[in-house]
Structure 1
Amino acid sequence: GVVIQNLSDADFDVFRRERDAEKGLFDGWLTAYVNINDVRVGDIVDYGKTTVRTPIIGTGLLFHSFAVAWDEPIALIRERVMWPTVQPLNFRQIRTDMSPDVQSTGETTTYLWQSANPIPVKSQENLPPDFLTYPSIEISSTSKWQDIVDTVLPYYRLDQELPADFASKLDAIAAKYDAPEDRMIEAMRLVQDNIRYVSLSMGRGSYIPRSPTTVVASGFGDCKDKALLLASSLRRLGIHADVALTDLDEGLALATILPTTRAFDHVIVKVVIDSQTYWIDPTNYLQGGRADNLVAPDYCFALPIVADAGIEKIDRKDLYQPTTFVSEVFDFPKRKGEPLKLTVTTTYWGADADSMRYKLVSQSPTKIADDYLKYYNRQYPGMKSLGPLVTNDSRDKNLVSVIESYDLSADDLDADNLSKEFALKSDVGIRYLPEPELLERSAPIWLGSPIFRRHRCTVRNLKAHFVGPEDNDDVVTPYVAFKARWTSTSTEFQVDWFLKTINDQVPAKSIGPYLKSLKKINDNATWNYNFAYSDAEAN
């Protein structure tokens, strides 16, 4: 073969792409793009890169990670780290036993890893956050999370002066509420609802929060800014609060990753009242509940910025009731030529209420109503809305309800035998359960945040006695449970479906039974009836 040097002829285009600007997040990242001319099938492209970092914080800390295999064939992966001999490095091997070749010369020690012709690793979907796609090596210059805390602690002083107008609002809260739990909720809402989220994560803004005075004056802030403001506000109200680092999507991995500032992309607040711990995400908007039913952010773990720091678990509360309950009432026509009436009442509780409350203020009621109408038209063509959505919000109880009203003309009900093949379909979030391929699967499946949902269908004004399946089609596994219960009279039929996740992941050895259970759930999620039947026999 012939070695051809292409670097001198390569033209790099550098451009800025703000991929999350619509979310109020500006990171300033630049992308370099190069196209190599005349690359042909069979060519081997050999490239190298040098990364020069100028840390804004933690200048004496090192963290690096790399994969020792990819999903495509590769001849050689080589990683070399040169580091002062007096400061030994810490290593973590993830599904590999590869160790470095270590050589010391004077004050510098060189660590060299080489992975020659590694077996390609098939990429897998729906992985738990603490399960890396590829076998990897982590390198850190510290084994103590306190070293990470010490690098950011100076920027999160909780004794900073608050603007006079904002402080007066806190004083009004203190005058109105004696209980620290109530003061906590009111301060949380003050910061969440009145300081909008905008993140200028460029340069210092990536790591260092702005002062509470600056944040209040501007009316916006990112997670760092709002967490510092909320923790400072709670301290003023006599409540013990600290800022804590976490990760939005990969918080579960904080329990095993080596200490590094790069393990975090989010900042929240830890509050302790008596012996009770509360975790608050100040970037939430219009969060509901009081202290007794406040929903903690589902980030798994966090690192409080305090002395003697360590990774702490964010406990999940058990779901003792469905967080979404959909009740559909179908009133079949009593006389020929009358329309079918459908009334849908959906009640949201807890985290689902928070999500729905945000949806109701961030989207137009017309768009939401149109989306719902399209959903029912796919099932029952010709369905028409009878009016706007009716909503009710009990913020302290964290309950949100939405009522929809529709009708279906007699002609549409008779068209295509719809009344004779009428579908009752459960909408309990089955679509949120991952269903990856089993082929060569070696990793667990991540089920994510807990799900507990209920869907009820009530059909009235029937002219026969209808029943559900004779066989019990309940699905109960260590990971997910699905149940259906029905009752009936001579004029009414009702079915309730329930879906609840029991664990947040499925071990690799149990994926086969899990996928079989999903098939059974889907098979039992829709019941079809001939509701035009008018005899007194069961259908």
Structure 2
Amino acid sequence: MLVLSLLLILTPAIAPAQKVNTSPAPAWLVPFTPDLSKKPNAKNISDGYYLLLLEEQRHAELKSNYQHFIRQIISEAGIQNGSEISVDYDPQYEKLTFHKIVIHRDGKEINRLPGAAFKLLQKEQDLSRFIYSGTYTAYLILEDVRKGDQIEYAYSINGDNPIFNGKLDSRIYFVAYEPIVNYYKNLIVSPQRQIRFKRYNNAAAPLQKSWNGLTVYEWNKVDVRETDNTNFVPSWYNPFTYVQVSEYPSWKEVAQWGMKVNQTPAPGPLLAGKIAAFKKAANGNPATYLLQALRFVQDDIRYMGIEMGEYSHRPNNPDRVLAQRFGDCKDKALLLCTILRANNIVADMAYVNTDLREAVSEILPSPNAFNHAIVHAVLNNKVYWLDGTMSYQRGSLADLCEPDYGRALVVTDTTTQLTPVIPTTRGKIAVREIFTLPDDANKDGKLEVVTTYHRDDADAQRAELAGTSMKDKEKSYLAFYKKLYGDVVIRDSITTRDSVAGNTIYVNESYLVHDIWKNDSSSNKLLFTTNAQSFYDALSFISDDKRKIPVSIRYPYDLDYQIILHTPVKWSLDQTPLHLQNEYYTFDYTATIKEQQVILSYHFKTFSDHIPVKFIPQYVKDLKKMNEVTSMDLTWNPGTAAARHPDGKGNWLAIVLALLFAGVFAGLAFIFYKHSVTPAGETPESLPIGGGLVLLAIGLVFTPMGEITGICKMAVFDYSYWISISDRQDLGNITVVQLFLIMEMMVNIFMLAYSILLAVLFFQRRDTFPFALATFYFIATVFIYADNSLNHYLFKTEKPKDIFNINSILWPLLRMAIWVPYLLISQRGKNTFTMPYRPPQG
């Protein structure tokens, strides 16, 4: 409604200028005679017509731009595509005059200018971005156009934007996608003008000559090229052939122009009242004042630009912007500057180019080098780049992220060059996709997604959430996971939580995945494939390592992404970590396992907005490596019902072997029990157990209990785990792995029998106890070291990093270092364990 109201209000003011004038061709034209007998290569004609002539002459002193075209219609497609004439102009300061509209047919000229019925259409292609420029299109539909006709027309646009005071600042392009047979462009200037040229992409230098006391620069070559369909091109990359013309000698002069354009009177009553309210609320804290002023301009002054005439570059008075509660980027920037300066905060307008970014420094100085205005503020010797158009920006002043604008022209009377906008604070995105895989192919899987956005990524997400219904959001997210995992349905609605103070947004999703296990016909097993799509979407995937233009990548970008799989059985992985790092990006991938949980971790961070041509071959190689780890297959053979339901029964093979081993080791323990060190017949005296031996007694009592607990928890007794080993392609020789599990179980039963024997020997104060204890500790040390090493080798498990881990060799070594010397050196130790074996009296 606002836009419609503006159109209704502003249209009467423009209506008198909405007129297409007619006149003969201007007398100031430099003579140019085209060769109308020339023809283009027919293979290059695609729309059914070509340009027999393109002539453009610009007289800078008269502020007049003359255009002259001849279209040659060669087919019915050309009649459809080439029978309209349209010219864009701004009636605020430009006058459109047509000099000729003629159809050449069979050697005759049909003059269509006298009866031309132009339609004047409001162009306003930027209304979707809430910008009203007041431009119009003069549109003419030619009648009775036939195959073979030549359509010739010429017009002039007189006038230029008064905001530039007649200074030259333009770009002349020499590129076309259709054949142009005769091509001519010129620029006519006074010899007193100090103009500068800069040529891009091998543009030809102009031919210079004098004519009627003026200087004429001429070009007569055009670069005809195929349509560029290359993807992932940086916004600042311009492959076209063109020349920049500028009359501004330096950035200092552009800044001085900006100072004049952005002058404003002292705040009026309305703005002064608002400033006083800000000061009162800030209570003397300038940081609080700055932040609340920024939030007000961002959130309470809506974005809307009426950029007619000189107001394309001149901001409106801040009092007016406050009263109407809308404005464009320069209106918001000047309003914010005025509010900050009122509290003695250094604040200046700053011009940036959101497309060129840092590349703006490579072009000639000019006001048209920029397309956006922000604020450069200094508080407590810290620089802040403040963008009044960034609604939904939150967080503290310390966490404010600098916008990625590369270079800025700070509008002050001391500015001489562009200032880098250096990003020091960046956002981050953390994604956790948590899958619960069922223990039955007929059960549904679950997917929980938790995404956390920090700082400027939270700002962007907050704006997206504000402009999108939750219904559409859920529909979009669901489509994303359906594409990856098939039959996915929403389990619970999306929930969001916005931590405004910390500028963090949390988004939670919950899904059910039907038929999450797929039947792998080649192996007759169940298959689930992960897809790291969140990471995948952050990259610009190309395959041409001979590409000759840079590749855009998302910057700034920091993604911490994990896929967490809760599996029905224990898994192990044979996944090699991947680490890539260079001056443009870093990428890390690791896969870890914790019991029945598999964690795939990705981290991707960029340091540049593009990959230069010289690095593209390496980038293509890195992409292949990254692509190899963006998905992973998990295969599983549930086997019998017991395998599908792990608690159904144990592994009877392991149980029987355990009982057998227990019997053998019990017999060996009994044999050792009857062994004595003391010569037969001697009966030495023995002290009762006391002193420090009480602590050893406690340990010996609890050691068998710990051994029993550990044996009961061993995976070898779980039938589902035993069966699943056969599905583990990453384990190599399965027989060796199963044999290791049996041997591990056997040694644990041996240690159980040994620990019971030790307790018996201790409490009977047997003379063999000290030797048996030392041997036990030695065997325990060797076993723990060997078991950890083999587990790491066979199952690729992590080696314990904590030296105090329960499975560390430190504990038996420590106990041996304490108790063995005590038993051998202390008098109580020597006099306690002296009893020989005494056979039972029959």
**TM class, shorter-chain normalised?**
0.7 to 0.9
Moved more, 438-447 or 343-352: 438-447
1:168 pairs with 276, 282, 294, which one? 276
5 Å-filtered alignment, 1:288-437, equals: 288-309=394-415, 310-317=417-424, 323-333=428-438, 339-409=444-514, 412-414=515-517, 420-435=526-541
Query: Is the contact made by 1:170 and 1:237 (CA closer than 8 Å) also made in structure 2?
Result: no
Query: Is the contact made by 1:94 and 1:137 (CA closer than 8 Å) also made in structure 2?
Result: yes
The aligned counterpart of 2:112 is 9
1:110 pairs with 194, 197, 216, which one? 216
AA aligned to 1:9 is: R
Asked whether 1:505 is paired with 2:613, we answer: no
Alpha-carbon shift at residue 329 of structure 1 (Å): 1.4
Moved more, 454-463 or 427-436: 427-436
Residues 243-276 of structure 1, C-alpha deviations (whole Å, 9 max, x = no match) = 1112222233320221222222211111112332
Give the SS at the match of 1:388: strand
Change beyond 3 A, Cα 1:150–1:384: same
How many residues are matched?
530
TM-score, normalised on structure 1?
A: 0.88
Alpha-carbon shift at residue 420 of structure 1 (Å): 2.6
Change beyond 3 A, Cα 1:133–1:436: farther
AA aligned to 2:485 is: Y
5 Å-filtered alignment, 1:253-264, equals: 253-264=359-370
Asked whether 1:208 is paired with 2:314, we answer: yes
Query: Is the contact made by 1:462 and 1:531 (CA closer than 8 Å) also made in structure 2?
Result: no
AA aligned to 1:313 is: P
2:374 pairs with 259, 268, 289, which one? 268
Query: Is the contact made by 1:252 and 1:301 (CA closer than 8 Å) also made in structure 2?
Result: yes
Query: Is the contact made by 1:429 and 1:499 (CA closer than 8 Å) also made in structure 2?
Result: yes
2:180 pairs with 69, 74, 81, which one? 74
Alpha-carbon shift at residue 354 of structure 1 (Å): 0.8
Using the alignment, how far apart are the partners of 2:226 and 2:479 within structure 1? 42
1:460 pairs with 541, 548, 566, which one? 566
Query: Is the contact made by 1:73 and 1:120 (CA closer than 8 Å) also made in structure 2?
Result: no
Contiguous gaps of at least 5 residues in structure 1: none
AA aligned to 2:615 is: S
Give the SS at the match of 2:402: coil
Contiguous gaps of at least 5 residues in structure 2: 1-35, 38-69, 73-101, 104-109, 639-719, 730-842
AA aligned to 1:170 is: F
Which structure's CA Rg is the greater one?
2
Using the alignment, how far apart are the partners of 2:441 and 2:619 within structure 1? 47
Query: Is the contact made by 1:70 and 1:120 (CA closer than 8 Å) also made in structure 2?
Result: yes
The aligned counterpart of 1:245 is 351
Moved more, 50-59 or 335-344: 335-344
Using the alignment, how far apart are the partners of 2:595 and 2:210 within structure 1? 87
1:524 pairs with 601, 617, 629, which one? 629
AA aligned to 2:246 is: S
Asked whether 1:227 is paired with 2:333, we answer: yes
Using the alignment, how far apart are the partners of 1:64 and 1:336 within structure 2? 67
AA aligned to 1:135 is: T
Query: Is the contact made by 2:234 and 2:552 (CA closer than 8 Å) also made in structure 1?
Result: yes
Moved more, 518-527 or 358-367: 518-527
Residues 474-501 of structure 1, C-alpha deviations (whole Å, 9 max, x = no match) = 4445433332111113311111112222
Query: Is the contact made by 1:349 and 1:399 (CA closer than 8 Å) also made in structure 2?
Result: yes
Asked whether 1:30 is paired with 2:136, we answer: yes
AA aligned to 1:399 is: T
Alpha-carbon shift at residue 34 of structure 1 (Å): 5.1
Alpha-carbon shift at residue 405 of structure 1 (Å): 1.9
Using the alignment, how far apart are the partners of 1:222 and 1:82 within structure 2? 35
5 Å-filtered alignment, 1:44-83, equals: 50-83=156-189
Query: Is the contact made by 2:352 and 2:372 (CA closer than 8 Å) also made in structure 1?
Result: yes
Alpha-carbon shift at residue 514 of structure 1 (Å): 2.1
Using the alignment, how far apart are the partners of 1:39 and 1:148 within structure 2? 51
Alpha-carbon shift at residue 456 of structure 1 (Å): 0.6
5 Å-filtered alignment, 1:469-484, equals: 469=575, 471-484=576-589
AA aligned to 1:192 is: Q
Alpha-carbon shift at residue 107 of structure 1 (Å): 5.5
Residues 131-187 of structure 1, C-alpha deviations (whole Å, 9 max, x = no match) = 422122111112122333333423423653152442233123331x52x33322221
AA aligned to 1:408 is: V
AA aligned to 1:481 is: T
Using the alignment, how far apart are the partners of 1:289 and 1:460 within structure 2? 35
Using the alignment, how far apart are the partners of 2:452 and 2:510 within structure 1? 15
Alpha-carbon shift at residue 285 of structure 1 (Å): 0.6
AA aligned to 2:378 is: V
Moved more, 194-203 or 516-525: 516-525
Residues 341-371 of structure 1, C-alpha deviations (whole Å, 9 max, x = no match) = 3221101112211111111222122221222
Change beyond 3 A, Cα 1:324–1:84: same
Give the SS at the match of 1:500: strand
Residues 262-320 of structure 1, C-alpha deviations (whole Å, 9 max, x = no match) = 2222111111123321111101111023222211111111212211323222112375x
AA aligned to 1:220 is: F
AA aligned to 2:620 is: L
Using the alignment, how far apart are the partners of 1:158 and 1:531 within structure 2? 73
Give the SS at the match of 1:420: strand
Change beyond 3 A, Cα 1:142–1:413: closer
Q: Which structure shows the bigger proportion of residues in helix conformation?
A: 2
Alpha-carbon shift at residue 73 of structure 1 (Å): 4.3
Alpha-carbon shift at residue 429 of structure 1 (Å): 4.4
Query: Is the contact made by 2:203 and 2:242 (CA closer than 8 Å) also made in structure 1?
Result: no
Give the SS at the match of 1:385: strand
Percent sequence identity over aligned pairs: 25
Query: Is the contact made by 1:486 and 1:496 (CA closer than 8 Å) also made in structure 2?
Result: yes
Give the SS at the match of 2:163: coil
Give the SS at the match of 1:387: strand
Give the SS at the match of 1:403: strand
Query: Is the contact made by 2:333 and 2:349 (CA closer than 8 Å) also made in structure 1?
Result: yes
Alpha-carbon shift at residue 461 of structure 1 (Å): 4.2
Using the alignment, how far apart are the partners of 1:476 and 1:356 within structure 2? 28
Moved more, 395-404 or 372-381: 372-381
Give the SS at the match of 1:389: strand
Change beyond 3 A, Cα 1:70–1:435: farther
